[in-house]
A and B are shown apart, each in its own frame.
Chain A
């Protein structure tokens, strides 16, 4: 097919009679003015929309978010510091309580010991009093026993003398028995 007939059939210099492109549509001069015109309009509209509305808005949102994050981190650090302080206070209170409890225990122990000492002393005194009393009782018993021995010895001596057929002089016998017992 010759290119001359072709050109004659074509709708324009870029489109053939079948509605297909002749060569590269990109190089078709007929459309350039139209494309450039609408492109410039498009770019101006996009530029205005972006620079007037979209970009300042996104910038403010990003700044706001950055601010929020910074604030939140600061608040978190503040809370962390408070928690540490509370922990320290708790530890301090715990240590104080331990010291105090030890002091109370010591005081109680001392008190009980003092009471115990008093009771022990009292008991000791009572025991020694009881012992002294008992000793006195024993001494009395021993003394009375010796007396009894003397009486029994005199009686026995008088009885023996009487049996042997003598007339017993009780005074003499008593003296003799006392002598013997002493000796």
Chain B
């Protein structure tokens, strides 16, 4: 309520200092201005399509020459391939490589959505919980089902810490169970929260730029934040992917 009141009052007064840091996250229909239905093509959908185009451009068009000595785009595609491949190999193990295309899909979508979101006036799809929760729940459900399919009831050994004293085990089991179900929550909120916070902070600094005295500092701060956001864009994609690998490892090898 407080933010609503503040935002609308500031707008109503028409003062030079107007903060709408959250407006950039609004989902709007691209054509017309009716309500957003299930199949409406929105700015969110548009930037998802652009993410698809970017991934196709890099991974398909960029590698179309199949050069032994790679071109720049092919080199980046191979780098992304090797990065995720090595991550699965190191974290999950050789038997996790079967799921390489799934994890690669997650990584490529998040990393391109994060970087596309850094283009001014663009829409950052990964700043929405609706998106990251779907990604995290997909990982959570896949990993849980996979754990039971691969290991049967032995998968429950994940919660029964056999190396701890017997008396502590039931308590640890409850803690492990809670932490297991908190995984998709932290997994999704970490990504969306980081991306959203950075973008909102940039918008707040941009609002301060309207005051002539502060504007040089403000623009410097925006530049610094932008640099930080470039880091965050990659690191959050990396963190999401490596956590997926860790969860997958738990499903394939549930023993501690």
Contacts and interface: CB of A to CB of B under 8 A. Distances in A.
Interface of A: 1, 3, 6, 12, 14-16, 18-28, 30-43, 45-47, 49-51, 53-55, 57-62, 64-65, 68
A58 B109 contact: no
Given A21-B25, A38-B45, A64-B68, A16 B8 contact: yes
Interface string B223-234: 000000000000
B78 A61 contact: yes
Q: Which 8 A-B pairs have the closest CB atoms?
A: A54-B59, A51-B101, A38-B45, A25-B25, A31-B27, A42-B48, A35-B130, A32-B130
B42 interface: yes
Which of B104, B130, B196 has its CB near the most chain A CB atoms (within 10 A)? B130
A178 B131 CA distance: 164
A79 to B, nearest CB: 20
B95 interface: no
Given A46-B105, A60-B66, A61-B63, A34 B27 contact: yes
A47 B8 contact: no
Given A18-B8, A39-B125, A46 B1 contact: no
Interface of B: 1, 3-5, 7-9, 11-12, 20, 22-23, 25-27, 35-40, 42, 44-45, 48-49, 51-52, 55-56, 59-60, 63, 66-68, 70, 74, 77-78, 81-82, 100-102, 104-105, 108-109, 125, 127-131, 134-135, 138, 192, 196
B63 A58 contact: yes
A81 to B, nearest CB: 25
18 contacts: A1-B8, A6-B4, A12-B35, A14-B26, A18-B8, A21-B7, A21-B22, A25-B23, A31-B128, A35-B27, A38-B44, A39-B134, A40-B134, A47-B102, A50-B59, A50-B104, A55-B104, A61-B63
A37 B39 contact: yes
Contact of A3 (B1, B38, B49, B67): B1
A40 B23 CA distance: 24
Contacts of A32: 130
B55 A58 contact: no
Contacts of A24: 22, 25
Contact of A20 (B7, B101, B109): B7
Contact of B52 (A22, A42, A54): A42
B105 A26 contact: no
B51 A42 contact: yes
A47 B60 CA distance: 13
A33 B81 CA distance: 32
Given A27-B129, A58-B78, A34 B49 contact: no
B55 to A, nearest CB: 6
Contacts of A46: 51-52, 55, 105, 108-109
Given A49-B59, A58-B63, A61-B66, A30 B36 contact: yes
B39 A43 contact: no
Which of A3, A31, A59, A64 has its CB near the most chain B CB atoms (within 10 A)? A31
B92 to A, nearest CB: 17
A6 B11 CA distance: 13
B8 A6 contact: yes
Given A31-B27, A35-B128, A54-B63, 5 more contacts: A1-B9, A20-B23, A33-B38, A39-B131, A53-B59
Nearest to B3: A23
B5 A3 contact: yes
